[in-house]
A and B are shown apart, each in its own frame.
Chain A
Amino acid sequence: MMALGLIGLIVFFVYPLVANLYYSFTNFDLVSAPTWIGLKNYEFLFSKDSRVVHAALNTLWFVIILVPVRLAASLGIALLLVRRRRAAGLWRTLFYLPALVPPVASVVAFVFLLNPGTGPINTILRRFGINGPLWFNDPHLSKPSLLILGVWMMGDIMVIFLAALLDVPRDQYEASALDGANAGRQFLHVTLPNISPVIMFSAVTGVIAALQYFTEAAVASGVANGKTGIGSSPDQLLGYPDDSLLTFTQWMYVEGFTSFQMGYAAAMAVILFIVAAAVMAVLLRRLGLFTGRAES
């Protein structure tokens, strides 16, 4: 019964992980056979490639800003929704819906909404006499613009938090109310301890998602630039404006699949693997999977 799945795990997961490690020690362009060059790829990565450092720092921005802001926004809205009795489903759907929109469509929509010339947001600001910023066309505001988009799309985390909040036993609130705890204390001593496993799970999966942040940044660069899609000359298009949206995985894409420096891209994948595995270990340890207690 597991035949297909086991073949999949070996052919599409274990084998490519091992093969990737091998490729990372080679010079490989897909056409001719890979040639062993030892640690040269890693040497270049850590000492000579200034764009990879820049890309990694951009990715780091999404990890340390986007992830916590999204978690806080999701929790805040979930806390507002958990108390609703009337029209609870309607509110939930309203805040969840943006998470459903295909990411590419959301990015295209936001680049339009925030486009400096004819975008509705700057048009409205102009009516109040405010000269709106350049948003996705300003290297200092392109990442914060994606942050706004990221908060808008937080619905899936919000639904998970909402379910966790509804699961907190009512009698714990009643007991702490009898002890004279106010709303703030109740949140700290009853709500947070009860939902902390769910926050942890969302934080870890959020960080791993941020480490591979690609689609939103790539599409925002392409659409804001207004040039042809990124198939044409990715080197110049990715990261627009001014490399401010060039993330680690985009640089890996450029090196590996447009310049066909596949050995170098494999080395970048190894670095990504090490970082993601370290983050993941935090979660798996918590779930007890390292000690063999794998029950749900």
Chain B
Amino acid sequence: MTTRRIMVWIAEHAVLVALGVMFLIPVIFVLLTSFMGSGQTLTGALWPHPWDVSNYAKAFSTAPLGRWFGNSFMYAGLATLFMLVSSVPMAYVLAKVRFRFDNVIFFAVIVAMLLPPQVTQVPMYVMWSRLGLTGTLWPVILPNLFGHAFSIFLLRQFFVSLPSEYVEAARIDGNGDWGILARIVVPMAKPGIAAAAIFTFFQAWNDYYGPLLYASENKANWPVAYGLASFHGSHSTDWGVIMAVTTLATLPVVVVFFFAQRTFVEGITLTGVKG
């Protein structure tokens, strides 16, 4: 029995280590290549010799990378801020207030969350072009001010799990809904709100389709994820430089993740399991 257990332990760890290496290989080669000079990347070298950090500087001189990063931070930052303003109160009402048609509205939020964005794309594009906002990132930023379906769903699930006794007690003490939200729900639901904020930030940071649709004609308004997609060919054919940009575009997301890992994993779990 014990030898059998040891064999299973060894087999499982062998598989895990092998898989782990396979999952790490892409990251390792991207990083290594980003430190190779242009002479080396053309030869199919696997290890930088010598280590060359100039790709990172070159990346900023071959494309308006600083501006693209600024656009990404603006897009992701404003989208997150707007989402919080619109979605936290709505999620609170859906979670803690009973009223006619509350199920209908929650149903509509879920449907809006699940359906592909393309099903409403044509009229949306017409709307934004009539407003003269195509060519900018506003068509992907402004809708967050009017509710972000996924965040409303996530926050509502989180708020539902808070004990209703606190809400009722605060109501008896004479608080209105805004008071309850500010004094009771938000302080208790900080992890859930943080998770929704991080998801929205990442979704905006990673977005490719939105900027393609609305801002592709105007290079000065590209976010970095969109700029990266067109880097090969239009800005550089040097894989070393391209891998440096790839690394830089990924860095902010990884940094945020390591600061908020627990919140993040709990948030994902909440969306999938409670569903």
| Chain A interfacial positions (CB closer than 8 Å to B) | 1-2, 4-9, 11-17, 19-20, 23, 30, 77, 80-81, 83-84, 91-98, 100-113, 115, 117-120, 122-124, 126, 152, 156-157, 159-160, 163-164, 167, 197-198, 201-202, 205, 208, 211-212, 214-215, 218-219, 222-223, 225-231, 249, 252-253, 256-257, 262, 265-266, 269-270, 272-273, 276-277, 280, 283-284, 287, 289, 292, 294, 296
The 5 A-B pairs with the shortest beta carbon distances in the complex, nearest first, are A229-B230, A8-B146, A160-B272, A5-B147, A5-B90
**With a CB–CB cut-off of 8 A, which chain A residues contact B246?**
105, 108-109
B250 interface residue per 8 A CB criterion? yes
Once the chains are docked, how many angstroms separate the CA of A119 from the CA of B212? 28
CB-CB under 8 A from B271, the residues of chain A are 160
Total number of B residues with any Cβ neighbor in A under 8 Å = 99
**Bound-state Cα–Cα, A201 to B250, Å:** 28
Provide the B258-275 mask, 1 if CB < 8 A to any CB of A, else 0.
Answer: 000100010011011111
User: Would you call B116 and A102 a contact (CB within 8 A)?
Assistant: no
- CB <8 Å contact, B147 and A102: no
6 A–B pairs (Cβ distance < 8 Å), ordered by A: A5-B109, A13-B149, A95-B23, A102-B228, A103-B206, A231-B216
B16 contacts A91, C-beta separation under 8 Å? yes
> Residues of A contacting B157 with CB < 8 Å?
296
Contact of B108 (CB < 8 Å), options: A9, A30, A152, A218: A9
Task: Report B-chain residues with C-beta under 8 Å of the C-beta of A14.
Answer: 108
A-B interface contact total, Cβ < 8 Å: 294
B138 within 8 A of A: no
Closest residue to A17 on the B side, CB-wise? B120
A interface footprint on B88-106 (CB within 8 Å = 1, 0 otherwise) = 0110111000000001011
- CA gap between A289 and B104 in the complex, in Å: 9
A101 to B20, CA, bound (A): 16
B249 in contact (CB, < 8 A)? yes
Known contacts A5-B86, A228-B234; is-contact A105 B117 (Cβ 8 Å): no
With known contacts A198-B273, A284-B110, A294–B30 Cβ distance under 8 A: no
Given contacts A117-B44, A124-B46, contact A223 B232 (CB under 8 A): yes
Nearest-neighbor residue (CB-CB) of A91 within chain B: B16
> Do A102 and B233 touch across chains, with their CB atoms under 8 A apart?
no
Please state if B253 and A229 are interface contacts (CB–CB under 8 Å).
no
Is B208 within 8 A of A219, CB to CB? yes
Q: Which of B49-57, B122-130, B189-197 contacts A (4 or more CB under 8 A)?
A: B122-130
Check if A112 sits within 8 Å of B269, measured CB to CB. Answer: no
Residues of chain B whose beta carbon lies under 8 Å from any beta carbon of chain A: 12, 15-16, 19-20, 23-27, 29-30, 33, 41-44, 46, 85-87, 89-90, 92-94, 103, 105-112, 114-127, 129, 143, 145-147, 149, 152, 157, 160-161, 177-178, 181, 202, 205-206, 208-209, 212-213, 216-217, 225-226, 228-234, 237, 239, 242-243, 246, 249-250, 253-254, 257, 261, 265, 268-269, 271-275
Tell me, in angstroms, the Cα distance from A15 to B92 when the chains sit together.
25
B268→A16 contact, CB < 8 A? no
Q: Which residue, A19, A92, A157, has most C-beta atoms of chain B within 10 A?
A: A19
Please name the residue on chain B nearest to A126 by beta carbon: B44
Once the chains bind, are A100 and B253 in contact (CB under 8 Å)?
yes
Q: Judging by beta carbons under 8 Å apart, are A11 and B146 in contact?
A: yes
Partner of B122, one of A115, A231, A269: A269
Query: Is the Cβ of A108 less than 8 Å from the Cβ of B209?
Result: no
Give the CA-CA distance A231 to B109 in the complex, in Å: 33
> Given A20-B122, A97-B254, A231-B212, list of 10 further CB < 8 A pairs?
A12-B143, A13-B108, A13-B112, A17-B120, A104-B249, A109-B246, A126-B44, A214-B208, A262-B125, A294-B103
